[in-house]
């Protein structure tokens, strides 16, 4: 059974994988489980008719299981785990929310026009909490074994690094050694190399309208 998956194409490059962290999360899951899949790149400036017919909301990622199309990355990742239990990527329930506030705090800081509004500190606090967790439990969130929570965080940390580096000349504080090691570990995964947006400028172009709004 080959899986059909629809993911975002890069802005201005419809035949190149785009910069959606939720799409990458699903692709990472399929790669880590060695599940064969067929990718459809969806050009957001010109969504194909067939795509809108099966998915009127026009959202990605979208995956086809047993002749049924399913959207929402949480639901999709859960289904992949159910249908392809080996190797298990299940995260213990008490760890599923580790790092979950980093992405919204990153967006708030990225869009911020006032350097004294506390958004930078709020992001640093979340990264410190992650660093503390990794210090005691690392190198991954659940110890030596990569799980779904890592695959959800990896694309978001990539966006954080690229977008904040470009728009704010900001980097993760050096003192957060465990976060730095974690990022290095995630970004060096063969599955990550294969599924990340091939050019950083696609990530930058994706965030530019939000930064300049």
The residues assigned a catalytic role are 20
d(CA 74, CA 25): 9
For 62, other C-beta atoms within 10 Å of its C-beta total 23
CA distances, 210 to each of 17, 74, 199, 200, 202 (Å): 20, 24, 19, 17, 14
**For residue 87, is the peptide bond before it cis, meaning its omega torsion is within 30 degrees of 0?**
yes
Closest-CA residue to 78 (of 56, 63, 60, 95): 63
Q: Rounded to an integer, what distance in angstroms lies between the CA atom of residue 176 and that of residue 15?
A: 37
The four Cα atoms 21, 22, 27, 33 give a dihedral, to 10 degrees, of: 120
Q: How far apart are the first and last CA of the chain?
A: 44
Query: Which residues, 6 or more positions from 5, have their beta carbon under 8 angstroms from its beta carbon?
Result: 26, 27, 30, 37, 38, 39, 40, 61, 62, 63, 64
């Amino acid at each position: 059974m080959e899986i059909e998956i629809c993911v975002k194409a890069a802005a201005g490059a419809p035949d190149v994988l785009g910069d959606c962290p939720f799409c990458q999360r699903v692709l990472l899951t399929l790669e880590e489980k060695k599940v064969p899949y067929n990718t459809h790149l969806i050009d957001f400036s010109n969504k194909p008719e067939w795509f809108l017919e099966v998915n009127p909301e026009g959202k990605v990622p979208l995956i086809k299981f047993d002749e049924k199309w399913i959207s929402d990355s949480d639901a999709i990742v859960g289904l992949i785990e159910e249908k392809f239990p080996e190797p298990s990527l299940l995260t213990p329930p008490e760890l599923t929310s580790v790092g979950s506030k980093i992405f919204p705090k990153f967006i708030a800081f990225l869009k911020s026009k006032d350097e004294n509004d506390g958004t930078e500190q709020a992001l640093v606090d979340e990264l410190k909490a992650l660093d503390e967790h990794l210090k005691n439990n690392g190198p991954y969130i659940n110890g030596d074994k990569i799980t779904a929570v890592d695959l959800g965080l990896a694309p978001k940390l990539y966006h954080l690094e690229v977008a904040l580096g470009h728009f704010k000349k900001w980097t993760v504080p050096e003192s957060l050694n465990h976060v730095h090691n974690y990022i290095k570990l995630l970004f060096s995964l063969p599955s990550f190399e294969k599924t990340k947006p091939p050019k950083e400028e696609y990530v930058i172009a994706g965030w530019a309208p939000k930064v300049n709004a």
